[in-house]
Amino acid sequence: MKIFFKRLHAYFYRFNVGLLYIILWPLMYYFSRKPERYHGMNRVRGFWGYLSSLLSGIIYRFEVEEPIDWSRTYIICPNHTSNLDITAVSILAKNNYSFMGKEELLDGFVTGLYFRTVDIPVNRESKMSSFRAFKKAGHRLERGQTLVIFPEGRIPPHYPPKLDEFKNGPFRLAIELKIPIIPISSPDTWQVLWDDGIEYGSRPGICHIFVHKPIETANLTIDDADALRDRVHDIIEKKLANA
C-alpha cells in the first residue's frame, strides 16, 4: 500500500511539472528565441522547479559553506541520485548557466526546449560527441556562463545509491579555463524521489542541499586534473557519509 501512494505521488509530481510547463511555455519560448535572452529561461526554470515541487509538498533547504559570488563563472558539480538535483541547482544558481546532460533529453517533453537552446546535450558513448559538447561548454564558460555538470555522468543504477566514480571532463575544463568548481552534496533527494520516481515513487519532504565553498583552479595545471577530480569526489563522499 505504501508503494502505491508513493507512485501516486510521483505521478502527481510529474503532473505538476507538466502542467506548469504548459502554462509557462509561451514565456520560455520567448526567452529561447535569442541567446541574449537565455538568462530569462533559467529564471523561469528556477521558478518552475520551485513551484512544481512546492505544489507536491517538496521543499529545498540550502546550507552554504560560504557565500557564493554569483557575478563569477563556475563549474557546478553535484552528486546525482534524483531529478530533484536538477531542480535544486536551478533554484540555487543566480547567474546564467547551462546544464550538460544526456542526448536523450533533446526529445523530452519538458527538457527538449532547453536542450535545443541553453543546455548542452552529449552522447557519452561517442568520443566525438563528447569532444563537441565540451568544446561548446568551453565557449559558454569563456563568455561568462556557468556550467552545471554531474561528474558521475548519470544517476547510478544501484538502490540505495552510492557515489560513483567521477569523469575527468569537468575538471580538465576547469583547469584549462581557470574556472572555480563548486561541489554540491545532496544526501537525501533520492529518499524524496529516486531517479524519475516511477520505480520507487516519491513523497513530500525536505531535500537538504549542501553547497561547498568554491575550489579555485587558477594555480593548477592539467597534470592536476585527476587530483582535483579525486578531491571533489572526497569532499562530496565525506559529506554524504556524515549527513
pLDDT category of residue 38 using cuts at 50, 70 and 90: very high
User: Which of these ranges, 67-76, 160-169, 181-190, has the smallest mean pLDDT?
Assistant: 160-169
74 pLDDT band, cuts 50/70/90, is very high
Confidence of residue 127 (pLDDT cuts 50, 70, 90): confident
Backbone angles phi, psi at 48, to 5 degrees: -60, -45
Is 3.30.70 the CATH number for 2-242?
no
Mean predicted confidence (pLDDT) in 195-217: 93
What average pLDDT does the segment 197-225 reach? 94
The arrangement of strands across the sheet holding 205-211 comes to 58-64, 205-211, 181-185, 75-78, 146-149, 97-102, 120-122
User: Would you list the domain boundaries of the chain?
Assistant: 2-242
- So what's the pLDDT on residue 1? 66
Reported pTM: 0.94
Residue-level pLDDT at 2: 80
Is the bond preceding 26 in cis, omega lying within 30 degrees of 0?
A: no
